[in-house]
Each structure stands twice: as C-alpha cells, then as structure tokens.
Amino acid sequence: MSLTPFTKPYATPERAVRAVRHYRWINEHAKPLQQPALRTIGPTSLTFERIEGRPVRPADLPRMAELLGHAHGAAWASDLQSASLGTPHRFQDGTTFDDYLDLREIALRRRHEQGYLPNKVALYAMLGLLEETAQGPFAFYKDSNPRNFIITSTQDIVTIDTDDLSLAPMGYDLAKLIATLHLTYGPLTDQAVNAALLAYNAAAGSYNARLGTTDRERLGDFLTLHAVLTAPYVGRNGYRYSWPIRSHLRGAS
C-alpha cells in the first residue's frame, strides 16, 4: 500500500521557489544525499513522497558523519571550489543562497539581545570566533539535526528539510549534527566524536586531500558557535539537554 504524500506549506511563493531551488541543487551537486521524490510544486506548497522511518540516534553518528563527508566533498567538487564564505553563492539562474558570515553575525547579535550572551565582551568573542572559522575549503550547511534525516526499515538514510542552504566551512554541519545529538540524547563521548570526525575527514578527503583536514580544535570552535546559536531552543523541539559554551567566554561574565 502506497503512503499518503506529505505536503509542506510555505508562507510565500518566494519561499516555495527557494525550497525547490535548494532541493534541486542538492540533487545535482550533493548526490550522496538521498531526498524524497518531489511530486507536486504548488504556488505556496510542495508535495513530497512520504518516507517512514526514525530520526538519527547517537549510534548512527559514524555513518552519518561519513555521509556528510561524501555530500560536502561532492558539492565542493561539483560547484563550490570557487565559493567564498563572505559572498552569497550564485546559482546559474542568477539567484543565490546565503553566505556564512552575515547570517551568523546577525544571529549572534540577536543572541546577545536575547540574553544568551552575558555582555558585549562575550558577543565580540563569538564574532571573533566566527571570523576565525571563515576559512576554506567550503561546503554547505543544511541544518543537520537528527530530525532532518530519516533512517528507513531498510537502513537507507533519507535527507529532508533542505529548504534553507548556506555556505559553511568543511565540518560546520557535522558539528551541528553532533551538537543536536547532544541536545537531544545527552553528552556524547570523546571517542564517539573523534570517530565521527575521522569518518567525515576520510569521506571528504576522498574528493580532494584538502577537504579532509578538519581537526578537533576547529570542530570545537564550530561546536561553541552552535552552543550559542541553538541556546534558545533548549527545552523545545526535543532538545532536553544544554550544551556548555567553551572557554571563549571566560572573563566575559
């Protein structure tokens, strides 16, 4: 018996068009990511094949890290070699998806206004860290949280919710997955994180040796950024555990 398709509404036609563009970009340039079939494009809605399965769990992290490494490596080889983290990426039709720095600077300043950063010293520390991480080679960010992947009964991994893509350094989206697994299920062991990073680097590096060089310190910097950026969602959407902000904020309290 076929499953009832899933229809996702959008606030405006422009949002729907953007979602279609990003869906198609993933299919063309990040082929290791399997997405549900797009059945119908409406003015303010998209209808997808319905996929049954479960979200990602901590035990899936090594496999997920390998998948992200392949997706980021493939996208770099296909379309992102000339990208710049301070410039929106331009599609062939002349439209763009967002750059790395501007979006996150705005979000960090908002976290300060919301009280998640104690003062301007803390804000400037995070903005400085953001600048430090804005180095190539470049991948893309698709918000890799556990709910945005479905593992089916046949152990296939299907990627959903690719509406909003932005440029990001290699390893940044892996850090988002690690951070949100922590927020959802509790702290991961150092061994698990190290194994994930090793799997990610091996997969990404198979496309070009430069892509497999994310080290634990840089991953930690990304995790610090995600700790601040995800702070408003702790206690919501299944995020039951907090993520401690690292030593970049010492002396800023």
pLDDT tens, 30-67?
999 999 999 999 999 999 999 999 999 999 999 999 99
**Mean pLDDT across the stretch 84-112?**
82
The answer to whether residue 39 sits within a structural domain is no
Query: Domain count of the chain?
Result: 1
For residue 161, give both structure tokens: 């919710």
3-class DSSP assignment, residue 245 = coil
Across 36-125, the runs of DSSP E, i.e. the strands, are 38-41, 45-48, 89-90, 96-97
CB 185 within 8 A of CB 90: no
Contacts of 51 (CB under 8 A, 6+ apart): 36, 150, 152, 158, 160
CA distances to 101, 181, 196, 246 from 87, rounded to whole Å, are 8, 30, 29, 28
In a domain, 3, yes or no: no
| Closest of 168, 139, 160 to residue 71, by C-alpha | 139
10: in domain? no
Residue 22: inside a domain: no
Residue 25 pLDDT greater than 60, yes or no = yes
Tokens 């698990």 -> residue: 192
The overall pTM is greater than 0.85: yes
Query: Given a cut of 60, is residue 189 above it in pLDDT?
Result: yes
Question: Is residue 71 within 8 Å of 33, Cβ to Cβ?
Answer: yes
Residue 181 belongs to some domain of the structure: yes
Instruction: Tell me how far apart the alpha carbons of residues 245 and 171 are, in angstroms, rounded to a whole number.
Output: 18
- Between 163 and 245, the higher pLDDT residue: 163
* 33 occurs within a structural domain: no
Domain ranges, residue 192: 52-249
Higher pLDDT, 55 or 92: 55
Residue 248 has pLDDT above 70, yes or no: no
Model confidence at 87: pLDDT above 90 = no
pLDDT value for 91: 66
pLDDT of residue 20: 93
Per the listing, tokens 């690690």 go with 178
| pLDDT band, residue 251 (cuts 50/70/90) | very low
Does a structural domain hold residue 112? yes
Q: What is the CATH number of the domain that holds 191?
A: 3.90.1200
